[in-house]
Amino acid sequence: MRYGRFDDENREYVIERPDTPLPWVNYLGCEAYFGLISNTAGGYSFYRDARLRRISRFRYNNAPLDASGRMIYLRHEGERETSDPLFWSPAWQPVRRPLDEYECRHGLGYTVIRSRQGAITSSIRYFVPLGESLEIWDLTLTNIGGRPAHLSVFSAIEFCLWDAWDDLTNYQRNLSTGEVEVEDGVIYHKTEYRERRNHFAYFACSRPLAGFDTQREVFLGPYRGWDSPAAVESGRVSNSIAHGWQPIGAQHVRVDLQPGEDTRIIFLLGYHENPAGEKFDPPGSQTLNKRHLRPVLDHYRQPEKVETAFLALGAYWDGLLSRFQVNTPDEHANRILNLWNGYQMMATFNLSRAASSFESGIGRGIGFRDSSQDLLGFVHLVPERARERLLDLAATQLPNGGAYHQYQPLTKRGNHDIGSGFNDDPLWLILAAAAYLKETGDVRLLDERVPYDGTPGTETALYEHLQRALRFTLDRLGPHGLPLIGRADWNDCLNLNCFSDTPGESFQTTANRDGNVAESVFLAGLFLLASQEMIGIARFHHRLPDVEAFLLAVREMENAVWKAGWDGQWFRRAFDSFGRPVGSQECDEGQIFIEPQGMCVMAGLGIVDGRARAALDSVAARLATSHGILLLQPAYSRYYLHLGEISSYPPGYKENAGIFCHTNPWIMIAETKIGRGDLAFDYYRRINPSLREEISDLHRCEPYVYAQMIAGRDAPSHGEAKNSWLTGSAAWAHVAMTQWILGIRPEYEGLRIDPCIPSSWDGFSARRTFRGRTFQIVVRNPDGVCQGVAEMKVDGVDVPGVVVPADLPEGDHSVEVRLGR
Ligand code: GLC
Ligand code: GLC
């Protein structure tokens, strides 16, 4: 069953009823000010850091779900039809009174919620103007009935006292710190401004207010919820000024509408920082300095300025997405690739894993491996920002080449609580750097001076950071010559040194055993892939002597994998801290894992001798389901002390045999490495969210974005998704589809076009911007093959090989490719 539909032309997903299985969310903001917004206007906003600069409150784990957010109430003040309620929410929540019509459109950086209740239609458009740290709620009300309507509009937001963690925990202090100011109808939230903060939030409106409230319990009334505030029920706010307790911003506006008349009200919720030394106005007082903010408020209270900002936002997204557009025989691939996948990748770029319906914004900062992998997908969209991200990541690297697992976006410093010791982390940086270099050709990146652990004076060239990252693995080899796993590798839950038997202990940070035995075959595969990238980087950077050293390391690691990492029909996963294999026929449970099959074949292992094919056949036979490919089989049926968190999950969920979507594209890529385009694309379709729209009752998450996990075969809810939006699945699915299935792959010397498509396709076309040139690519497949370029023409001229040279004149170029035997 569906809850909406794709509107491809308008680049929106249209949700047709408010009671979706879960809140279906969108993101507002793409630079510094961000908000999550659901299809009923739930969610919250923050400035740069979802934990440290939270602007509005949201209660995760609440019942009903998603009932706090951007609240608007409409109330009849005059006579009304008997069928009309006294008050309702035009976005359905929080009042949840049935609406006569409802529609939510999630678009690129904006959401529009339209509804009708009796004769009153409402449309609210939410967005964040580019370059601003504020969000706009642009409300239009229309009276489509035959008699005048007299309405009250109430808007409300619950302020968060900045640090979202503290806000949830430290009530003995927080219930006494809240402070606001109200001036000219603008509500300012200034908790802690008197002391060390120089920032405040504000809630403004384009209309004169009939009144306001800033103390939550005054607006709601004692023991009442947001679904029936006393002020809305009675039609009267109290002009309360919050002192301590729970500061809110609630505004009351009166509206009279003649039949057929409409009106527009603009609400502005924003964040503002004052220059140090200019906090107060007049100086020496305790009154907020609003001089710098006033012009911004004056600007956005004007509807035509709001319109201009909205158009600019559309143009920004046009510019980004036009860098890569495809037209294949598959509408679901087209829809996701041309729009939603790119859009989702920008969310993962901006937010890493910080804030979603499943990530509370107080847990994780920017993950080292997560952001490095995200970069593989989005680098062509925002190369300049990718560069900055690369340098930020590298600056959190440790002198030994290792990396903090996460860093805090506001401070850009490594997160000490989680520390380091995830032995895969540094290698992903090499993959990310290579992706950036191939996309841009910007070799100067490698000479950028970057510190270690954010410590001034320790700077070396980025190239050396990458060398140290490789070295980090080689300095940590185990008994079989394979990389030691440390706390964990990509699979955070494979904790082979952890041995945790204390409830509540974090698997990620608990003290580990010495860790000199447990090894990872996956990490060996990743090391090989990273070494190959490093060889490419060294050549590009004219460091030819280094190439020899890297090649030697590659040969030794390959030998180690074949000696100890091959299980007969597939690659093993690891060796535990007793030196016993994990992911082997010898095991009772967890005999085969997806990760090493993908990674080792991506690194080229076994392609020539057929072992890659055997491994992938094992994946098809043992791990593939119609909902995607399982992480492992058989699932762990109980907790194993020596395996850690992976066996903490009930079978079928998360790393314990869930469909961890992030890993599926590795298998797609691996399939293209052995030329099986049909199967590669079949796997692509299984997790493509658009294809799962039909089964929204089962899938439950948004049908326009990838989810981290779909419940596996062993779970009672096989096929149900969780953790949508912020997942490496987005970048990897994009890489698998565009670079390996469509085969349009940036390389140092140019743009490789080497597709591996379904044999049933008669071809496809694509438009790709690459190093300042735009390529119109047409691929024909008259013989019905999967792979093999028989002919390539650039601007009508035959070109040998499959790489379009990077040094063509700037401008547009045509590329024609014929596949064939
Ligand atoms: C989560 C983490 C990611 C990890 C994966 C597998 O998605 O964000 O870093 O690799 O889980 O455990
Ligand atoms: C848990 C999750 C895993 C995630 C990790 C990091 O272990 O299962 O997916 O990567 O937490 O916070």
Digit-coded pLDDT (tens) for 61-70: 999 999 989 9
The pLDDT of residue 365: 80
pLDDT digits (tens, 9 = 90+) for 666-718: 999 999 999 999 999 999 999 999 999 999 999 999 999 999 999 999 999 99
Q: How far is the CA of 453 from the centre of ligand 2 (A)?
A: 24
Alpha-carbon gap, residue 268 to 263, rounded angstroms: 17
Alpha carbon of 626 to ligand 2 centroid (Å): 25
> Residue 39 and residue 69: Cα distance in Å, rounded?
11
Q: Specify the residue with its C-alpha closest to ligand 1, atom 10.
A: 490
Mean pLDDT of the chain, nearest integer = 97
Closest Cα to atom 8 of ligand 1: 370
The pLDDT of residue 408 is 80
Ligand 1 atom closest to Cα of residue 492: 12
Cα(531)–Cα(485) distance, integer angstroms: 18
pLDDT for residue 363: 81
Q: Which ligand is nearest to the Cα of residue 645, counting in written order?
A: 2
> Which atom, in ligand 2's list, is nearest to the CA of 654?
8
Beta bridge partners of 34: 46
Q: Where are the beta strands (DSSP E) in 507-657?
A: 519-520, 574-575, 581-582, 592-593, 624-625, 628-629, 632-633
Answer positive or negative: Cα dihedral of 204, 210, 213, 214: positive
What 59-62 contacts at long range (C-beta under 8 Å, 24+ apart), as own/partner pairs, is: 60/360
Ligand 2 pocket residue status of 493, Cβ below 6 Å = yes
The answer to whether 664 and 599 have CB atoms below 8 angstroms apart is no
Which ligand 2 atom sits closest to the C-alpha of 507? 7
| Neighbouring residues of 695: CB distance < 8 A, sequence distance ≥ 6 | 1, 719
DSSP string, 516-556: SS-EEHHHHHHHHHHHHHHHHHHHHTT-HHHHHHHHHHHHH
Mean pLDDT over residues 421-427, rounded?
97
How does residue 410 score in pLDDT terms, banded at 50, 70 and 90?
A: confident
Supply the angle between the helices 383-395 and 425-440 in degrees, to the nearest 10: 150
Ligand 2 atom nearest 364 alpha carbon: 12
Is the per-residue pLDDT at 419 higher than 90? no
Whats the size of the chain, residue-wise?
821
Protein residue whose Cα sits closest to atom 10 of ligand 2:
492
Is 409's pLDDT higher than 80?
no
Pocket test for ligand 1, best of 662, 664, 722, 732 (most atoms within 8 A of CB): 662
Tokens matching residue 534: 């490093």
Task: Tell me phi and psi for residue 629, to 5 degrees.
Answer: -100, 130
- Checking DSSP bridges between strand 120-127 and strand 134-143, what pairing results, if any? antiparallel
Q: What integer pLDDT is reported at residue 33 of this predicted model?
A: 98
Cα–Cα distances in angstroms (integers) from residue 616 to residues 90, 226, 613, 624, 810, in the given order: 52, 53, 5, 10, 42
H/E stretch holding 232? helix 230-234
CA distance 73 to 329: 46
The helix/strand/coil state of 227 is: coil
Number of H helices, E strands in the chain: 20, 42
Q: What's the 646 CA to ligand 2 centre distance in angstroms?
A: 9
Q: Ligand 1: distance of its center to the CA of 728 in Å?
A: 8
Per-residue confidence (pLDDT) for residue 418, from 0 to 100: 86
C-alpha 339 to ligand 1 mean position (Å)? 25
Structure tokens at 651: 């079978």
Alpha carbon of 718 to ligand 1 centroid (Å): 20
Cα torsion 299, 303, 306, 311: sign? negative
Write out the catalytic residue numbers: 492
**How far from 589 is each of 468, 490, 729, CA to CA, in Å?**
37, 20, 26
Share above pLDDT 90 across residues of the chain, in percent, rounded to a whole number: 96
415: confidence class by pLDDT, cuts 50, 70, 90: confident
pLDDT digits (tens, 9 = 90+) for 92-106: 999 999 999 999 999
Is the shortest distance between the CB of 489 and ligand 2 below 6 Å?
A: no
pLDDT score at 413:
87
- What are the tokens at 178? 């809240």
pTM of the model: 0.97
Residue located nearest, by CA, to atom 9 of ligand 1:
370
Does pLDDT of 160 surpass 80? yes
The mean pLDDT value for 764-785 works out to: 98
Q: Once rounded to an integer, what is the mean pLDDT over residues 347-360?
A: 95
The answer to whether residues 255 and 247 touch, using CB atoms and an 8 Å cutoff, is no
Are 46 and 193 within 8 A, CB to CB? no
Q: Which atom of ligand 2 is nearest to the CA of 655?
A: 8
Joined tokens for residue 601: 């074949």
In sequence order, what DSSP letters do the residues of 294-357 get, joined into one string?
HHHHHHHTSHHHHHHHHHHHHHHHHHHHTTEEEE-S-HHHHHIIIIIHHHHHHHHHHHTTSBSS
Band of the pLDDT at 609, cuts 50, 70, 90? very high
Q: What residue ranges line ligand 1, CB within 6 angstroms?
A: 353, 367, 369-370, 490-493, 655, 708
Ligand 2 contacts CB of residue 654 (under 6 A): yes
| Residue 417 pLDDT > 90 | no
**Angle ∠(258,261,262) on CA atoms, nearest 5:** 130
Q: Which two tokens stand for residue 239?
A: 């002009």
Mutating to test ligand 2, I would choose from 418, 491, 493, 500 the residue with most ligand atoms within 8 A of its C-beta, which is 493
Query: Alpha-carbon Rg of the chain, whole angstroms?
Result: 28
Q: What is the C-alpha separation between 437 and 674, in angstroms, rounded?
A: 26
Q: How far apart are the C-alpha atoms of 267 and 499, rounded to whole Å?
A: 53
* Cβ–Cβ under 8 Å, residues 601 and 561: no
- Taking the CA of residue 655 as reference, the ligand 1 atom at the shortest distance is 12
Residue nearest atom 4 in ligand 2 by C-alpha distance:
492
Read off the pLDDT of residues 493-520 as tens digits, 9 standing for 90 and up.
Answer: 999 999 999 999 999 888 888 889 999 9
